[in-house]
Chain A
Amino acid sequence: MDWKDQLKALWKRATWTRTADFTLPGVLFELQPDFVMAARLAGKGNGDGQGQLGRMVLAPLELDALAPSPSGPAILNKSLLGKTLDRLAIAAGNGKARVGVLVPDGVARVGVFPFEVLPANRREAATLIGWRMRENLPFGPEEARISYQTAKSVEVGKEGEIEVAAVAMRSSVAAEFEEIFESINRSSALILPSTMALLALLPREEAGGQLLVHVCANAATLAVVDRQRLRFWRTRDLAGLAPEQIFIQTAAEAARVVASTEDRLQLRLARTWLCARPPATESWADDLGRTLGRDVELLQPTPETGSLLTSDDRIVYRRYGAPLAGLIANEVLNGRN
């Protein structure tokens, strides 16, 4: 390592900043390769109407504006995306500076790792987790911005182990999203992959595991949750495929995950959920159920969260608003605990 690398490492060490804890700003954005969505929470800040959306707007996006690549660059057309975001922010009707941003699953990597001991120091723990994630990352772990949450293992024979669910995003890619919001005079207080927000919508007290299949913008993410613990996560890029092919690939991927979960994780999946935004056909869940040989339920946003929306906004909410509803539900869960 020459002196430049040493200097760079020292600088990184000196300027290391930990990631924030989960928070729910008053305005939420979701950025996907084919649409952008903004929503304002009603009465956020004064307690009135908290947990409900007051306004929701969606705008389609040209396909070459955003590229869900983990290596970056993620934003290909900053000018177009900036103007769209600015227009949506005004339409959402909130001048608050801090916003929450849901990004495509493809720009992040998620992993679940068991640890016997995890360092108490967050920097050391993040470094260790990055080292464990290095094989899953298309970039160096020192370039990753890592956020993680821990849970005690409940498996027989593994008591005392710590299970870490971590999400990593390249720092430069995260900075791209932060800069695009700074260009419209807003700062991103929350950045999460959109499927991560959906996890809060899954029922809590369920015996056995739950499989979530999230299909959105030519990408499919499959996540397995077992008793409030993330056990598996996989994202597949399906860009360039026809809707039928997307369905076929998604179904095949879901079948592999079911088999792998039951075989490798020794986990029986009790429920399977599908969230397709927008759904390619009305019978996607039934078709997927037939393919998997099990019941597949549609994961839809809670009606209470969208009760204050207009009828037009409510249509958008039902078709696209599940992750935003998940963020609000997660805020309730965090407040409860």
Chain B
Amino acid sequence: MKVSLNLSLAQSFRQRHVVAWSVPLLAVSGVLLFRLGLSIQGNWKQYTAVRQSVEREQSRQNELVAQEASVKSKLEQPENRALLREVKFVNSVIEQRRLSVTGLTEKVTVLLPPQVRLAALSLPDSSGDPVVHLGVEGTGEEPVETFLTNLEDSPDFKDVSLLSQGFEQKGNGVPVSITCTARYVGGRSETAEDTKAESTDTKDKGPAKEPSGEAKGAGGAPAAPQATTSPRVPAPQTAGVGPMPAGGANTPGRAAAPRNAAPSTVKPK
């Protein structure tokens, strides 16, 4: 009798083909493993490079922090404090070199005696220390001269020069009219006052005292009220300015800021 019985379980599809598929699967797995190894190696190299770069930047940052700390500590020293204040002063002067027509009119008006009126005001060139053209009319020669004197004595104006003078009989009864020019250096007195308190501290400690004396000597100008309020301008800076015209005000602002220098901020080094 033929028997076709068997109590053993039939092999599943997976069991039948596991050996046949194991070889290509192993090959594919090997390739993938190799690729993974290469990828790991490349990533490791990149990681190492980035880490070294980060370390370099960190060390550089540390150096800069240390440098900043040393600079700060230097600036904290008394002799450097004066330098810091002067730098601040110069920066403030540069900041205030911006021209204000309203301020200019106000300052001219203050100088006018009651018998003199402002007939013309023009500002052909506003770069640097602008030259102001003024035309005034007075009831007599004396009030006009008073105006010119006030103009020359004013700390906001310098290099006053008379262009024309006339005596005309007009319908409104104004006998004298003049036109003149002056260089407007307005606003410097405020800066000097602002820095007065700081200079007092510096004076007490010494370093600011020397520039004050040199400014006086270099200028050689009569001690105008404004000039006396700017003893803190360092001597080397005032000495660099050319000879002052006669009657010109030796203002601290003019001495501190170079005439043709661009208005930029000065930083301490």
Min CB distance A224 to B, Å, is 11
Which one of A12-20, A133-141, A278-286, A291-299 contacts B?
A12-20
Q: Is A255 an interface residue (CB 8 A)?
A: no
Q: Which residues of A contact B8 (CB under 8 A)?
A: 19-20, 101, 174, 178, 188-191
Map CB proximity to A onto B4-22 as digits: 1 under 8 Å, 0 otherwise. Answer: 1111111110000000000
Q: Which residues of B contact A148 (CB under 8 A)?
A: 5
Q: Is A337 an interface residue (CB 8 A)?
A: yes
Smallest Cβ-Cβ distance to A191: which chain B residue: B7
Query: CB within 8 A of B3: which of A101, A108, A200?
Result: A200
Q: Is the CB of A167 within 8 A of B1?
A: no
Q: Which residues of A contact B170 (CB under 8 A)?
A: none
Q: Is A199 an interface residue (CB 8 A)?
A: yes
Min CB distance B118 to A, Å, is 108
Min CB distance A190 to B, Å, is 5
Q: Which residues of B contact A322 (CB under 8 A)?
A: none
Q: Is A333 an interface residue (CB 8 A)?
A: yes
Q: Is the CB of B7 within 8 A of A22?
A: no
Q: Is A88 an interface residue (CB 8 A)?
A: no
Q: Is A172 an interface residue (CB 8 A)?
A: no
Map CB proximity to A onto B52-65 as digits: 1 under 8 Å, 0 otherwise. Answer: 00000000000000
Q: Which residues of B contact A197 (CB under 8 A)?
A: 3
Q: Which residues of B contact A101 (CB under 8 A)?
A: 8
A residues 127-174 touching B (CB-CB < 8 Å) = 145, 147-149, 165, 167, 169, 174
Query: CB within 8 A of B1: which of A21, A23, A174, A228?
Result: A228
Q: Is the CB of B12 within 8 A of A149?
A: no
Q: Is A330 an interface residue (CB 8 A)?
A: yes
Q: Number of contact residues on B: which range applies?
A: 10 to 19
Q: Which residues of A contact B9 (CB under 8 A)?
A: 17-20, 145
Q: Is the CB of B3 within 8 A of A21?
A: no
- Docked Cα-Cα span, A280 to B72, in Å, equals 116
Map CB proximity to B onto A182-213 as digits: 1 under 8 Å, 0 otherwise. Answer: 00000011111000110110101000000000
Among A17, A202, A225, the one with the most B-chain Cβ atoms within 10 Å of its Cβ is A17
Min CB distance A335 to B, Å, is 10
- Docked Cα-Cα span, A145 to B5, in Å, equals 12
Among B7, B9, B12, the one with the most A-chain Cβ atoms within 10 Å of its Cβ is B7
Q: Is the CB of A17 within 8 A of B12?
A: yes
Q: Is the CB of A202 within 8 A of B1?
A: yes
- Docked Cα-Cα span, A200 to B3, in Å, equals 7
Q: Is the CB of B1 within 8 A of A200?
A: yes
- Docked Cα-Cα span, A191 to B195, in Å, equals 112
Q: Which residues of A contact B6 (CB under 8 A)?
A: 19-23, 147, 190-192
Smallest Cβ-Cβ distance to A336: which chain B residue: B2
- Docked Cα-Cα span, A237 to B6, in Å, equals 23
Q: Is the CB of A22 within 8 A of B4?
A: yes
Among B2, B6, B8, the one with the most A-chain Cβ atoms within 10 Å of its Cβ is B8
Q: Which residues of A contact B1 (CB under 8 A)?
A: 199-200, 202, 204, 225, 228-230
Min CB distance B14 to A, Å, is 11
Min CB distance B9 to A, Å, is 5
Q: Is A46 an interface residue (CB 8 A)?
A: no
Map CB proximity to B onto A317-337 as digits: 1 under 8 Å, 0 otherwise. Answer: 000000000000010011001
Min CB distance A232 to B, Å, is 13
Q: Which residues of B contact A167 (CB under 8 A)?
A: 5, 7
Q: Please list 14 pairs of residues, one from A and one from B, whose beta carbons are closer than 8 Å in the complex, sorted by A's number.
A: A19-B6, A21-B4, A101-B8, A147-B5, A147-B6, A147-B7, A149-B4, A169-B7, A178-B8, A190-B8, A197-B3, A228-B2, A330-B2, A334-B4
